Amino acid sequence: MFFGAHMSEVIVKDDACDLLRNWGSQYTMASINDFDSQPTPGPYLIKAGSLWQARRIYDDSNNTLLTAILPDAESKFRTLRLLGTGYRTLSVAVPSRTCREKSNKLPLAGTRIVVKDIFDIAGLRTSVGNRNFFNLYPPGTETASAIQRLIDAGAEVLGKSKLSSFAAREEPTESVDYQAPFNPRGDGYQSPAGSSSGSAAAVSSYDWLDFAIGSDSESQTKPFGSPGSHLMISATGSGRRPAHWNGCFSLRPTKTALSLEGFVKTFE
């Protein structure tokens, strides 16, 4: 592949062609793409003389996502309007892990994630697991601060995952608006638990996914028993409980460790 010129402007002599064939090259192409440096490893698609990143299509066979997404212009995203091969499944476009090289600035390069649909992502609507909320509010103009930090570190966001309505105590199997994700454990018909049901089910279901972003409830202390004694209470375990039920791990950061800007809070 020659960069910065059309094929008509490139002359490849016979000895160079022989050398390329010895290296395993089957044909030569030229691309008008103007790279500041050597492009990262592929795979790539060549179309109309330009180089495009190739993605592999996977089915969301356990119905863990509300929408699959693709990066768009100006740091925004758009919905991937592509159905899967299974009943009511979505297709997910997954980039190669080798397309971006890890570095000090991009420690998460090539890492594939999905995000609970309680975080805003620029260009997309947020549902918080509720159809009326989804229809009422316009697409987000900015990506939630915590998610943007991951994107800036090189993470690839593939979709927005399902959750219990308004991240409350509703069991996913009680949802009216959106079908519950299938729990990959056992016979596949156990509840995936909530509210971060889609995030936990996705991580446990797919080896093409590295991790998923959920949310968790705030722990509180209340007086208990003798004077000076307190009991630690967690409202629902919104991230830990689905992880336990789906057979994966959940990390709950300290509440003040990350900005909640762009996160839809269901309780004040």
Active site positions, annotated: 116, 195, 238
87 phi and psi angles, rounded to 5 deg: -65, 120
Neighbours of 59 (CB within 10 A): 15
Q: How far is CA 267 from CA 116, 222, 256, 264, in A?
A: 17, 18, 16, 9
How many helices (H) and strands (E) the chain has is answered by: 5, 13
Antiparallel, parallel or unpaired: β 156-161 and 112-116 = parallel
Calpha distance 96→75 (Å, rounded):
20
Residues 6+ apart with CB under 8 A from 178: 66, 127, 129, 131, 162
